[in-house]
Amino acid sequence: MGGVWSQLVGQPDAVETLSAAARSGARLVDGTGTAAGMTHAWLFTGPPGSGRSVAARAFAAALQCTAGDETPGCGECQGCHTTMSGTHADVRLVVPEGLSISVAEMRALVQTSARRPTGGRWQVVIITDADRLTEGAANALLKAVEEPPPRTVFLLCAPSDHPDDVSVTIRSRCRTIALRTPAADAIAEVLQLRDRIDVDIARWAASVCGGHVGRARRLATDPAARDRRAKVLRIPLRLRRLTDVFDCADDLVKAAEADASEVSGSRDEAEKDALKTAMGHGGTGKGAASAARGSAGAIKELERRQKSRATRTQRDALDLALVDLAGFYRDVLVTRSGSAAALNHPDHADGSAQAADAWTGDSTLRRLEAVLACREALELNVKPRIAIEAMVTALYFG
Protein backbone atom coordinates (compact mmCIF):
# COMPACT_ATOMS: atom_id res chain seq x y z
CA MET A 1 0.00 0.00 0.00
CA GLY A 2 1.38 3.41 -0.99
CA GLY A 3 0.88 6.92 0.30
CA VAL A 4 1.72 7.62 3.92
CA TRP A 5 1.63 3.88 4.68
CA SER A 6 4.79 3.30 2.66
CA GLN A 7 6.70 4.84 5.59
CA LEU A 8 5.69 1.91 7.82
CA VAL A 9 8.08 -0.95 7.11
CA GLY A 10 7.04 -4.59 7.38
CA GLN A 11 3.71 -4.02 9.18
CA PRO A 12 0.94 -5.16 6.78
CA ASP A 13 -1.54 -6.14 9.52
CA ALA A 14 -1.21 -2.78 11.28
CA VAL A 15 -1.61 -0.90 7.98
CA GLU A 16 -4.78 -2.82 7.18
CA THR A 17 -6.30 -2.10 10.60
CA LEU A 18 -5.36 1.58 10.61
CA SER A 19 -6.45 2.28 7.04
CA ALA A 20 -9.84 0.68 7.77
CA ALA A 21 -10.19 2.85 10.88
CA ALA A 22 -9.25 5.95 8.89
CA ARG A 23 -11.95 5.16 6.34
CA SER A 24 -14.50 4.84 9.17
CA GLY A 25 -13.26 8.12 10.63
CA ALA A 26 -13.66 9.88 7.29
CA ARG A 27 -17.24 8.66 6.93
CA LEU A 28 -17.98 9.71 10.49
CA VAL A 29 -16.74 13.25 9.86
CA ASP A 30 -18.66 13.45 6.58
CA GLY A 31 -21.82 12.14 8.22
CA THR A 32 -22.06 9.17 5.85
CA GLY A 33 -21.27 6.35 8.29
CA THR A 34 -20.81 5.18 11.87
CA ALA A 35 -17.72 4.94 14.04
CA ALA A 36 -17.27 1.20 13.44
CA GLY A 37 -13.54 0.43 13.68
CA MET A 38 -12.69 3.97 14.82
CA THR A 39 -12.05 4.99 18.42
CA HIS A 40 -10.75 8.06 20.25
CA ALA A 41 -7.61 6.52 21.84
CA TRP A 42 -4.97 4.20 20.38
CA LEU A 43 -1.86 2.59 21.88
CA PHE A 44 0.99 1.67 19.53
CA THR A 45 3.37 -0.89 21.03
CA GLY A 46 6.39 -2.70 19.67
CA PRO A 47 10.17 -3.11 20.06
CA PRO A 48 12.57 -0.22 19.36
CA GLY A 49 12.73 0.54 15.66
CA SER A 50 9.46 -1.16 14.81
CA GLY A 51 7.96 2.19 13.82
CA ARG A 52 5.59 3.13 16.65
CA SER A 53 5.79 6.89 16.09
CA VAL A 54 5.88 6.41 12.29
CA ALA A 55 2.64 4.40 12.49
CA ALA A 56 1.02 7.04 14.70
CA ARG A 57 1.99 9.87 12.36
CA ALA A 58 0.85 7.96 9.26
CA PHE A 59 -2.49 7.26 10.95
CA ALA A 60 -2.81 10.94 11.88
CA ALA A 61 -2.15 11.88 8.25
CA ALA A 62 -4.80 9.41 7.07
CA LEU A 63 -7.30 10.94 9.49
CA GLN A 64 -6.56 14.42 8.11
CA CYS A 65 -6.49 13.23 4.48
CA THR A 66 -8.84 15.06 2.11
CA ALA A 67 -8.47 12.71 -0.87
CA GLY A 68 -11.71 10.83 -0.22
CA ASP A 69 -13.37 8.41 2.17
CA GLU A 70 -12.08 5.29 0.40
CA THR A 71 -8.40 6.23 0.06
CA PRO A 72 -7.28 7.97 3.27
CA GLY A 73 -3.55 8.49 3.52
CA CYS A 74 -2.87 9.39 -0.12
CA GLY A 75 0.35 11.20 0.81
CA GLU A 76 -0.30 13.95 -1.74
CA CYS A 77 -3.05 16.20 -0.31
CA GLN A 78 -2.40 19.10 2.04
CA GLY A 79 -3.68 17.18 5.07
CA CYS A 80 -1.25 14.31 4.49
CA HIS A 81 1.66 16.55 3.52
CA THR A 82 1.41 18.93 6.49
CA THR A 83 0.88 16.09 8.99
CA MET A 84 3.89 14.10 7.80
CA SER A 85 6.06 17.24 7.76
CA GLY A 86 4.94 18.23 11.28
CA THR A 87 3.21 21.50 10.35
CA HIS A 88 -0.49 20.58 10.55
CA ALA A 89 -2.29 22.96 12.91
CA ASP A 90 -4.50 20.21 14.37
CA VAL A 91 -1.82 17.55 14.93
CA ARG A 92 0.30 17.89 18.06
CA LEU A 93 3.40 15.76 18.49
CA VAL A 94 4.67 15.34 22.06
CA VAL A 95 8.31 14.23 22.17
CA PRO A 96 9.73 14.39 25.72
CA GLU A 97 13.02 16.26 25.68
CA GLY A 98 13.91 15.15 29.20
CA LEU A 99 13.54 11.89 31.06
CA SER A 100 9.81 12.35 31.63
CA ILE A 101 6.65 14.21 30.57
CA SER A 102 5.50 16.55 33.34
CA VAL A 103 1.97 17.05 34.64
CA ALA A 104 2.08 20.75 33.68
CA GLU A 105 2.95 19.89 30.09
CA MET A 106 0.18 17.30 29.90
CA ARG A 107 -2.47 19.57 31.42
CA ALA A 108 -1.69 22.26 28.85
CA LEU A 109 -1.87 19.69 26.08
CA VAL A 110 -5.19 18.27 27.28
CA GLN A 111 -6.65 21.76 27.45
CA THR A 112 -5.59 22.48 23.86
CA SER A 113 -6.86 19.12 22.60
CA ALA A 114 -10.37 19.90 23.85
CA ARG A 115 -10.82 22.51 21.10
CA ARG A 116 -12.53 21.77 17.83
CA PRO A 117 -10.24 21.27 14.81
CA THR A 118 -9.31 24.63 13.31
CA GLY A 119 -8.90 23.47 9.73
CA GLY A 120 -8.48 19.72 9.70
CA ARG A 121 -10.93 16.90 10.18
CA TRP A 122 -9.69 15.79 13.61
CA GLN A 123 -7.75 17.16 16.54
CA VAL A 124 -4.91 14.61 16.91
CA VAL A 125 -2.45 14.29 19.80
CA ILE A 126 0.57 12.00 19.34
CA ILE A 127 2.58 11.12 22.47
CA THR A 128 5.71 9.36 21.22
CA ASP A 129 6.96 8.08 24.60
CA ALA A 130 3.89 7.47 26.72
CA ASP A 131 6.00 5.31 29.05
CA ARG A 132 7.72 8.53 30.19
CA LEU A 133 4.55 10.05 31.63
CA THR A 134 4.86 10.90 35.31
CA GLU A 135 2.04 9.70 37.56
CA GLY A 136 0.50 13.16 37.59
CA ALA A 137 0.76 13.49 33.82
CA ALA A 138 -0.84 10.07 33.36
CA ASN A 139 -3.74 11.10 35.59
CA ALA A 140 -4.23 14.32 33.61
CA LEU A 141 -4.28 12.34 30.37
CA LEU A 142 -6.66 9.76 31.82
CA LYS A 143 -9.33 12.40 32.44
CA ALA A 144 -9.20 13.45 28.80
CA VAL A 145 -9.26 9.86 27.54
CA GLU A 146 -12.23 9.03 29.78
CA GLU A 147 -14.28 11.97 28.49
CA PRO A 148 -12.86 12.77 25.05
CA PRO A 149 -14.11 15.62 22.88
CA PRO A 150 -16.05 14.26 19.88
CA ARG A 151 -13.40 15.12 17.26
CA THR A 152 -10.20 14.44 19.23
CA VAL A 153 -7.99 11.36 18.87
CA PHE A 154 -5.11 10.41 21.21
CA LEU A 155 -2.29 8.28 19.76
CA LEU A 156 0.06 6.89 22.42
CA CYS A 157 3.33 5.07 21.71
CA ALA A 158 5.11 2.81 24.21
CA PRO A 159 7.45 -0.22 24.14
CA SER A 160 4.72 -2.50 25.49
CA ASP A 161 1.29 -2.43 27.13
CA HIS A 162 2.74 -3.61 30.46
CA PRO A 163 1.55 -1.55 33.48
CA ASP A 164 5.14 -0.38 33.99
CA ASP A 165 4.95 1.32 30.59
CA VAL A 166 1.30 2.40 30.43
CA SER A 167 -1.11 2.34 33.36
CA VAL A 168 -3.89 -0.23 33.22
CA THR A 169 -6.57 2.46 33.39
CA ILE A 170 -5.23 4.29 30.32
CA ARG A 171 -4.50 1.06 28.47
CA SER A 172 -8.04 -0.22 29.01
CA ARG A 173 -9.44 2.81 27.18
CA CYS A 174 -7.19 2.41 24.14
CA ARG A 175 -7.28 0.16 21.11
CA THR A 176 -3.85 -1.49 20.86
CA ILE A 177 -1.81 -1.82 17.67
CA ALA A 178 1.05 -4.26 18.27
CA LEU A 179 3.92 -3.78 15.84
CA ARG A 180 6.60 -6.38 15.19
CA THR A 181 10.28 -6.24 14.35
CA PRO A 182 10.55 -5.71 10.57
CA ALA A 183 12.34 -8.40 8.55
CA ALA A 184 15.84 -7.58 7.33
CA ASP A 185 14.75 -7.96 3.69
CA ALA A 186 11.99 -5.36 4.15
CA ILE A 187 14.41 -2.91 5.78
CA ALA A 188 17.00 -3.38 3.04
CA GLU A 189 14.37 -2.77 0.38
CA VAL A 190 13.28 0.49 2.00
CA LEU A 191 16.87 1.70 2.29
CA GLN A 192 17.41 1.03 -1.40
CA LEU A 193 14.14 2.49 -2.70
CA ARG A 194 13.54 5.38 -0.31
CA ASP A 195 17.09 6.41 0.61
CA ARG A 196 18.90 5.37 -2.61
CA ILE A 197 21.50 3.39 -0.65
CA ASP A 198 23.76 0.89 -2.42
CA VAL A 199 22.36 -2.64 -2.32
CA ASP A 200 25.34 -4.21 -0.48
CA ILE A 201 25.45 -1.52 2.20
CA ALA A 202 21.66 -1.66 2.60
CA ARG A 203 21.72 -5.42 3.12
CA TRP A 204 24.58 -5.17 5.62
CA ALA A 205 22.89 -2.40 7.61
CA ALA A 206 19.59 -4.29 7.63
CA SER A 207 21.31 -7.44 8.90
CA VAL A 208 23.00 -5.75 11.89
CA CYS A 209 20.46 -3.11 12.98
CA GLY A 210 18.37 -5.43 15.15
CA GLY A 211 15.22 -4.62 13.21
CA HIS A 212 15.54 -0.88 13.91
CA VAL A 213 14.81 0.93 10.64
CA GLY A 214 16.16 4.30 11.78
CA ARG A 215 19.39 2.78 13.00
CA ALA A 216 19.82 0.84 9.76
CA ARG A 217 19.66 4.10 7.83
CA ARG A 218 22.15 5.77 10.19
CA LEU A 219 24.61 2.87 9.95
CA ALA A 220 24.29 2.92 6.17
CA THR A 221 24.91 6.66 5.84
CA ASP A 222 27.08 7.68 8.82
CA PRO A 223 30.69 6.38 9.07
CA ALA A 224 30.96 7.69 12.65
CA ALA A 225 27.99 5.54 13.70
CA ARG A 226 29.67 2.50 12.14
CA ASP A 227 32.90 3.27 14.00
CA ARG A 228 31.12 3.61 17.35
CA ARG A 229 29.36 0.27 16.86
CA ALA A 230 32.64 -1.44 15.93
CA LYS A 231 34.35 -0.08 19.09
CA VAL A 232 31.52 -1.37 21.29
CA LEU A 233 31.69 -4.84 19.76
CA ARG A 234 35.45 -5.01 20.31
CA ILE A 235 35.05 -4.60 24.07
CA PRO A 236 34.27 -8.26 25.02
CA LEU A 237 37.54 -9.57 23.56
CA ARG A 238 39.53 -6.50 24.53
CA LEU A 239 39.24 -7.07 28.29
CA ARG A 240 42.58 -8.80 28.95
CA ARG A 241 43.90 -6.75 31.88
CA LEU A 242 42.21 -4.97 34.77
CA THR A 243 43.30 -1.60 33.38
CA ASP A 244 41.29 -2.41 30.24
CA VAL A 245 38.14 -2.21 32.38
CA PHE A 246 38.50 1.51 32.97
CA ASP A 247 39.67 2.24 29.43
CA CYS A 248 36.64 0.47 27.93
CA ALA A 249 34.22 2.08 30.38
CA ASP A 250 35.70 5.48 29.60
CA ASP A 251 35.36 4.85 25.86
CA LEU A 252 31.69 3.91 26.25
CA VAL A 253 30.80 6.98 28.32
CA LYS A 254 32.75 9.40 26.11
CA ALA A 255 31.19 7.97 22.95
CA ALA A 256 27.72 8.51 24.43
CA GLU A 257 28.62 12.06 25.45
CA ALA A 258 29.93 12.78 21.96
CA ASP A 259 26.74 11.37 20.46
CA ALA A 260 24.61 13.59 22.71
CA SER A 261 26.70 16.64 21.89
CA GLU A 262 26.46 15.94 18.16
CA VAL A 263 22.68 15.61 18.33
CA SER A 264 21.89 18.59 20.53
CA GLY A 265 24.84 21.00 20.31
CA SER A 266 23.83 23.03 17.26
CA ARG A 267 20.15 22.80 18.24
CA ASP A 268 20.88 24.23 21.70
CA GLU A 269 22.61 27.30 20.27
CA ALA A 270 19.86 27.90 17.72
CA GLU A 271 17.18 27.70 20.42
CA LYS A 272 19.07 30.08 22.68
CA ASP A 273 19.63 32.60 19.88
CA ALA A 274 15.95 32.44 18.87
CA LEU A 275 14.84 33.02 22.47
CA LYS A 276 17.20 35.97 22.95
CA THR A 277 15.94 37.55 19.74
CA ALA A 278 12.33 37.05 20.82
CA MET A 279 13.11 38.61 24.21
CA GLY A 280 14.62 41.76 22.69
CA HIS A 281 18.36 41.06 22.75
CA GLY A 282 20.11 43.23 20.21
CA GLY A 283 17.29 45.78 20.16
CA THR A 284 17.92 49.49 20.72
CA GLY A 285 14.63 50.81 22.09
CA LYS A 286 13.66 51.25 25.74
CA GLY A 287 11.15 48.41 25.51
CA ALA A 288 13.73 46.04 24.03
CA ALA A 289 16.21 46.82 26.81
CA SER A 290 13.59 46.18 29.47
CA ALA A 291 12.60 42.89 27.87
CA ALA A 292 16.23 41.79 27.64
CA ARG A 293 16.75 42.43 31.37
CA GLY A 294 13.74 40.27 32.13
CA SER A 295 14.82 37.39 29.93
CA ALA A 296 17.30 35.82 32.36
CA GLY A 297 14.65 33.53 33.86
CA ALA A 298 13.45 32.33 30.45
CA ILE A 299 17.02 31.60 29.31
CA LYS A 300 17.74 29.73 32.53
CA GLU A 301 14.62 27.59 32.03
CA LEU A 302 15.66 26.86 28.45
CA GLU A 303 19.12 25.78 29.62
CA ARG A 304 17.51 23.47 32.20
CA ARG A 305 15.41 21.80 29.50
CA GLN A 306 18.43 21.50 27.21
CA LYS A 307 20.46 19.87 29.97
CA SER A 308 17.65 17.39 30.61
CA ARG A 309 17.46 16.64 26.87
CA ALA A 310 21.23 16.06 26.71
CA THR A 311 20.99 13.64 29.65
CA ARG A 312 18.29 11.68 27.90
CA THR A 313 20.21 11.63 24.60
CA GLN A 314 23.34 10.38 26.35
CA ARG A 315 21.44 7.60 28.10
CA ASP A 316 19.71 6.61 24.87
CA ALA A 317 23.12 6.36 23.19
CA LEU A 318 24.45 4.23 26.06
CA ASP A 319 21.40 1.99 25.90
CA LEU A 320 21.98 1.43 22.20
CA ALA A 321 25.57 0.39 22.93
CA LEU A 322 24.36 -1.98 25.64
CA VAL A 323 21.86 -3.57 23.25
CA ASP A 324 24.76 -4.20 20.85
CA LEU A 325 26.80 -5.76 23.67
CA ALA A 326 23.91 -7.96 24.75
CA GLY A 327 23.54 -9.06 21.14
CA PHE A 328 27.22 -10.11 21.03
CA TYR A 329 26.87 -12.33 24.12
CA ARG A 330 23.69 -13.79 22.68
CA ASP A 331 25.67 -14.60 19.51
CA VAL A 332 28.26 -16.40 21.62
CA LEU A 333 25.53 -18.57 23.16
CA VAL A 334 24.04 -19.28 19.72
CA THR A 335 27.48 -20.29 18.41
CA ARG A 336 28.22 -22.52 21.42
CA SER A 337 24.89 -24.31 21.03
CA GLY A 338 25.39 -24.98 17.34
CA SER A 339 22.02 -23.41 16.60
CA ALA A 340 21.14 -22.26 13.10
CA ALA A 341 19.52 -19.09 14.48
CA ALA A 342 20.58 -15.86 12.80
CA LEU A 343 23.28 -13.87 14.58
CA ASN A 344 22.68 -10.30 15.78
CA HIS A 345 26.12 -9.32 14.47
CA PRO A 346 26.94 -11.58 11.52
CA ASP A 347 29.84 -9.32 10.55
CA HIS A 348 31.47 -10.15 13.92
CA ALA A 349 30.92 -13.91 13.67
CA ASP A 350 34.68 -14.59 14.01
CA GLY A 351 34.76 -12.71 17.32
CA SER A 352 31.74 -14.49 18.77
CA ALA A 353 33.19 -17.85 17.64
CA GLN A 354 36.50 -17.02 19.35
CA ALA A 355 34.64 -16.13 22.55
CA ALA A 356 32.52 -19.31 22.32
CA ASP A 357 35.73 -21.38 22.32
CA ALA A 358 37.18 -19.48 25.29
CA TRP A 359 34.16 -19.08 27.60
CA THR A 360 31.77 -21.51 29.23
CA GLY A 361 28.03 -21.18 28.76
CA ASP A 362 27.62 -20.11 32.40
CA SER A 363 30.25 -17.37 32.18
CA THR A 364 28.66 -16.07 28.96
CA LEU A 365 25.27 -15.92 30.66
CA ARG A 366 26.78 -14.02 33.60
CA ARG A 367 28.22 -11.49 31.20
CA LEU A 368 24.88 -11.13 29.42
CA GLU A 369 23.13 -10.63 32.77
CA ALA A 370 25.66 -7.92 33.69
CA VAL A 371 24.76 -5.99 30.54
CA LEU A 372 21.03 -6.30 31.24
CA ALA A 373 21.58 -5.23 34.87
CA CYS A 374 23.41 -2.13 33.64
CA ARG A 375 20.45 -1.21 31.43
CA GLU A 376 18.15 -1.50 34.45
CA ALA A 377 20.52 0.62 36.56
CA LEU A 378 20.48 3.40 33.96
CA GLU A 379 16.66 3.26 33.91
CA LEU A 380 16.78 3.83 37.69
CA ASN A 381 18.96 6.94 37.14
CA VAL A 382 22.23 5.48 38.42
CA LYS A 383 25.10 7.71 37.26
CA PRO A 384 26.20 6.39 33.86
CA ARG A 385 29.90 6.12 34.66
CA ILE A 386 29.27 4.15 37.85
CA ALA A 387 26.85 1.78 36.12
CA ILE A 388 29.15 1.25 33.13
CA GLU A 389 32.27 0.65 35.25
CA ALA A 390 30.39 -1.91 37.36
CA MET A 391 29.21 -3.69 34.21
CA VAL A 392 32.62 -3.78 32.50
CA THR A 393 34.19 -5.08 35.72
CA ALA A 394 31.67 -7.94 35.71
CA LEU A 395 32.45 -8.60 32.04
CA TYR A 396 36.17 -8.82 32.86
CA PHE A 397 35.82 -11.32 35.70
CA GLY A 398 33.07 -13.28 33.88
Lateral strand order in the sheet of 123-127: 91-94, 123-127, 152-158, 41-45, 175-178
Query: Which of 178, 200, 232 is the C-terminal boundary of a domain?
Result: 178
> Could you give the number of structural domains in the chain?
2
pLDDT band at 197 (very low <50, low <70, confident <90, very high): very high
Q: Do 24 and 158 lie in a common domain?
A: yes
255 & 308 share domain? yes
- Rounded Cα distance between 387 and 389, Å, is 6
- Does 190 fall in a domain? no
What is the enclosing helix (H) or strand (E) of 201?
helix 199-208
User: For the segment 37-65, what is each residue's pLDDT rounded down to a tens digit?
Assistant: 789 999 999 988 889 999 999 999 999 99
The answer to whether 204 and 299 are in contact (CB under 8 A) is no
User: What pLDDT is attached to residue 355?
Assistant: 97
Residues 239 and 364 in one domain: yes
Among 21-25, 197-201, 257-261, which stretch is predicted with the lowest mean pLDDT? 257-261
Judged against a pLDDT cut of 90, whether residue 113 lies above it is answered with no
184 and 346 in contact (C-beta within 8 Å)?
Answer: no
Of 112-126, 258-272, 278-292, highest mean pLDDT? 112-126
Domain annotation covers residue 19 = yes
Q: Residues 151, 133: contact at Cβ < 8 Å?
A: no
- Closest by Cα among 237, 182, 251, 239 to 211: 182
| Residues 255, 136 share a domain | no
Indicate whether 52 belongs to any domain. Answer: yes
* pLDDT tens-digit readout, 58-101: 999 999 998 866 778 999 999 999 999 999 999 999 887 666 78
Residue numbers of the domain that contains 258 = 222-269+304-398
CA distance 177 to 42: 7
- The reply to whether 168 and 226 lie within a common domain is no
Based on the fold, state whether residues 319 and 394 are members of the same structural domain: yes
99 lies in a domain? Answer: yes
Residues 6+ apart with CB under 8 A from 70: 23
My answer on whether 165 and 263 are in the same domain is no
In a domain, 277, yes or no: no
CA distance 356 to 337: 9
Answer yes or no: do 261 and 371 share one domain.
yes
In a domain, 344, yes or no: yes
For residue 106, give the CATH number of its domain: 3.40.50.300
pTM of the model: 0.77
Query: Which of these three, 144, 162, 178, is where a domain ends?
Result: 178
Helix (H) or strand (E) holding 94, with range, is strand 91-94
What Å distances lie between residue 21 and 34, 114, 117, 288, CA to CA? 11, 21, 19, 51
Q: Same domain, yes or no, for 261 and 122?
A: no
Q: Are residue 241 and residue 93 in the same domain, yes or no?
A: no
Distances, alpha carbon 99 to alpha carbons 102, 190, 309, 311, 332, in Å: 10, 31, 7, 8, 33
CA 206, 211, 213, 216: dihedral to nearest 10 degrees?
Answer: -40
Burial code (b: 16+ CB inside 10 Å, e: under 16) for 254-286 equals: ebbbebbeebbeeebeebeeebbeebbeeeeee
- Residue 333 counted as domain residue: yes
Output the domain CATH number for residue 317. Answer: 1.20.272
Q: Are 306 and 320 in contact (CB under 8 A)?
A: no
Whether pLDDT at 389 is above 60: yes
> Is 280 contained in some domain?
no
- Which of 178, 212, 231 is the C-terminal boundary of a domain? 178
Is the same domain home to 44 and 115? yes
> Do residues 249 and 151 both lie within one domain?
no
